[in-house]
Structure 1
Amino acid sequence: MTVCSVPDCERKVLAKTMCAAHYQRSRTGQPLDAPLRSYTRGGTCSVDGCVQPLDGHGLCSRHRQRQARGVPLDGDNRRRLERGCSVDGCERDHAANGLCQSHWRRNKKGQDISAPIVPKLITDDLLARLRTYAPTGAPDECWEWTRALNKGYGAMSVPGSRMRQAHVIAWELHHEIELPDGLVVRHACDNPPCTNPAHLILGTHEDNSHDRLARGADAYNGTGFRHRTQAEVTSMRALHTAGMNMTEISRQFQCSRTTAMRIVKGISFQGI
């Protein structure tokens, strides 16, 4: 086997009588007599006190990044995630801007970051999930769903299905039967996020339409679509101008994000 022509180098020749490392040095104009750092697969970083696995050139990935940026290798190499969230009482790891991922998302959406965070419950037990995210209150109170909403109604992911309405699942669990075909679950309280079985009654789509018109005849036009008042349109646009995002506006006015966007941008209700 032919070895590298550089003195004291026993590596195999790659090109022009040199090994790969010295051939690369010769192409980039680096001195050939400087010692080569050996790469040992499975070893640790060569920087004193660093026990991170090697990435290349005798360094871990973070020290290689420091070397590329010209930052001293012997500086503090702590990971960002070792910092905690700056919100009082939160022990989650830091993600960005001094906040954990949950509080960073709340802050980005303009939500109150001091409100307690309900940990995500991962289970196929629908009743447990329902009562975790829609806590039971007094019998005459609305037990509102506190997670995702779809057109104002609570939305739950169900195994074998995409998404279902939380109040429908609440009715089925309470009565221990599936929703009969052709019927809908109506809200006697006229509060879409409510999951209190005492406020849920069965009816037809026609009954539901009559309820809607009876509770707010002036709020709907002849097509059955929600007709916003001038005050509502003005308020939505003012909130967006003040910095509120479309998601929060749609939740506050119980409409889809697309509807809120069309109203705010003047595509809908152009005369206001």
Structure 2
Amino acid sequence: MAHPRNTPERFWSKVGVKTSDECWEYTGHRDSKGYGIAKFMDICKKAHRLAWEFTFGLIPKDDSYHGICVLHKCDNPSCCNPNHLFLGTIQDNIKDMDQKQRRSKTNIPPVAFGENNNKSKLTASQVFEIRNRPITRGIYSAISREFNISKTSAQHIIKGKTWKHILPELPFV
């Protein structure tokens, strides 16, 4: 006899089953993106994938690295309603996101760079000053001591690998 935790009934007891056109929210553990995480036969899986397998059978395998995805028509990551699920590839998922305009840069929080980064040790004016110094022997060590940064940071600033938005002053020709 199967352990009580390893049954489809146990899984479905953690799903808020409603009418066939409504989302059925997984009420168990969720990951940071809102996907339900369920343990079945001692393997943790996304809840919507288990819902698919319990309803339609095993998810077919393919030769791609990521395999076949179980996608949501409703775009609700915790939904386990089999009527809201369909199979597809990573490319299908990306196409679906684009069609529904869910894959935009507005969903990505802006990255704080330069002096707006709370870990920054320098201001834009200091970087501008560093960039406009003549390159001499020992310049990285001198700058690292003066501004309390590493020699590598000094080198990256001078070579333009970091603080790319601060341009050096160009000489007049």
User: What is the TM-score of this pair, normalised by structure 1?
Assistant: 0.35
Partner of residue 39, structure 2:
157
Quote the sequence identity (%): 33
Please say which structure displays the higher CA radius of gyration. 1
Partner of residue 145, structure 2:
none
Pairwise CA distance, 1:214: 2.2
Task: Check whether the contact 2:59–2:68 (CA below 8 A) recurs between aligned residues.
Answer: no
Matches of residues 213-252 of structure 1 in structure 2 within 5 Å? 213-217=98-102, 220-221=104-105, 226-228=107-109
Secondary structure of the structure 1 residue equivalent to 2:93: helix
* More contact order relative to length (CA 8 Å, sep ≥ 6): 2
Task: Check whether the contact 2:23–2:79 (CA below 8 A) recurs between aligned residues.
Answer: yes
Task: Check whether the contact 1:172–1:179 (CA below 8 A) recurs between aligned residues.
Answer: no
User: What is the TM-score of this pair, normalised by structure 2?
Assistant: 0.54
Partner of residue 172, structure 1:
53
Taking structure 1 as reference, are residues 211 and 123 closer, same or farther at Cα in structure 2, changes over 3 Å only?
A: same
**Unpaired segments of 5 or more residues in structure 1?**
1-120, 230-264, 268-272
Partner of residue 210, structure 1:
95
**Aligned partners of 2:57, 2:118: CA distance in 1, in Å?**
46
Pairwise CA distance, 1:140: 0.2
**Aligned partners of 1:123, 1:170: CA distance in 2, in Å?**
15
**Aligned partners of 2:58, 2:41: CA distance in 1, in Å?**
17
**Aligned partners of 2:19, 2:118: CA distance in 1, in Å?**
42
Match of 2:19 among 128, 132, 138: 138
**Unpaired segments of 5 or more residues in structure 2?**
111-116, 120-173
**Aligned partners of 1:179, 1:167: CA distance in 2, in Å?**
15
Partner of residue 78, structure 2:
193
**Aligned partners of 1:129, 1:148: CA distance in 2, in Å?**
14
Taking structure 1 as reference, are residues 212 and 175 closer, same or farther at Cα in structure 2, changes over 3 Å only?
A: same
